[in-house]
Amino acid sequence: MKPTQSDPTVQPVPASVVETVDAADTTLSNPRWAVLALGANLGNRLETLQGAVDALGDTPGLRVKAVSPVYETAPWGVEPGTQPSYLNAVALVKTTLPPSSLLERAHAVEEAFHRVREERWGARTIDVDIVAYADVVSEDPVLTLPHPRAHQRAFVLAPWHDVDPEAQLPGHGPVADLLAALGHEGVTPRADLELRLPE
């Protein structure tokens, strides 16, 4: 019985190519955790939040793994009584998308629900913010990671802590400690409202 011959059409692959392919494959086969904050204060707020969660779940390369309880919160950065209150929640996702593509998808979801960007901290049908992406720390003005004000916002920290009590905000420490320092003033749990994971 003759020894098996290697296929003569197969050429040795240069080590540099192998390294490049392996690096790309690692990105694809090892999805990263990301934390997305959702907020809505116009229209049917709960329906819009659920629609945003479902739209994220329909994104290739992204899986919504957990959705927090819903909180009702006062608008941030505006005079009291000038805007309706927000419903806020946090979604934990696993994704193979790089941060820039995840940001594009977040903006696409906002546009699908007619988000208008006319004024800073203006009322909005939906807000989808990337709070954290793995342990990435970036000063990129297009997408600063983690979100530069997340550590100051109980309406982000409270729902995030609910779904991941051990969570860490890169550069700022445990979410539990940040939330304890801020307190829950103006952030009210809405046990009567619930978001479901995408089917």
Helix (H) or strand (E) run with residue 18 in it:
helix 15-29
In order of 8, 41, 43, 192, the CA distances from 84 in angstroms are 71, 6, 10, 19
Transcribe 107-126 into DSSP letters. HHHHHHTT---SSTT---S-
DSSP class of 173: E
Catalytic residue positions, numbered: 115, 124, 127, 129
User: Which residue from 184, 161, 149 is spatially nearest to 69, judged by alpha carbons?
Assistant: 161
